[in-house]
Amino acid sequence: MIVLLGLSHQVGDPASGHEVTISVVGAVVLLAVYGLWVWNYLHSDEAPEEAHAGHARPALPFRPALVVLAVSGAAAALVSDWFIAALDPAVEALGISKAFTGLVIVAIAGNAVENVVGITLAAKGKSDLAVSVVKNSVAQIAAFLYPALVLLSLMFDPHLTFVLSPVFIGALVVTALAMWQITGDGKALLFEGAALVGLYVILATLMWFE
């Protein structure tokens, strides 16, 4: 969606005049696919053995756990808003670009929990579960949060779309290909992790000058 709309926007073809409509349709489709994935996951007979091996039954029933999750998500959103508000003066004083702030500083802070969990699991030899935690965290943003924000933005002006500048589209494609190539086998080898970190450093350097 992002790549197609970005190309359409750059070449100025007829579809580029309907970016909001196309983004809305894409958002609905992505949310529908995400909903089907969640439904299938929750009703799957195959529970991830790494998540249950050696553990007792959950302390909370399913519905109370959903309530706790919803409250935690809302609290995290409020904390993120406070974090951004507190970060703005420092960013302006240091002359750091908005791109670097959003894609590097905020991204690292916002994904700190997933990163720590992934590193901890990898250190315990559970590389497949570590890779799954990190990749699923990214999938939540791409398949749920971004499309949801596109739909919510219809109540405001301007509207959020899937249109990105070419440099961000290129970064997205390169990152997706690297993630697929390196983590597709479910293993977490040292040099592969170093390659991903190196790629992130290169992208972060690029964002610094954006």
Cα–Cα distance, 199 to 208 (Å, whole number): 14
Percent above pLDDT 70 for the chain = 91
DSSP for the chain, written as a single string: -HHHHHHHHHHT-GGGGGHHHHHHHHHHHHHHHHHHHHHHHHT-S---HHHHTT----SS-HHHHHHHHHHHHHHHHHHHHHHHHHHHHHHHHHT--HHHIIIIIHHHHHTHHHHHHHHHHHHTT-HHHHHHHHHHHHHHIIIIIHHHHHHHGGGSSSPP-S---HHHHHHHHHHHHHHHHHHTTS---HHHHHHHHHHHHHHHHHHHT-
User: Residue 68: its pLDDT value, please?
Assistant: 86
* Nearest CA among 209, 167, 186 for reference residue 3: 167
For residue range 135-189, what is the model confidence (pLDDT) as tens digits? 777 788 888 888 998 999 999 888 889 888 888 888 888 888 888 887 777 666 7
pTM, rounded to two decimals: 0.72
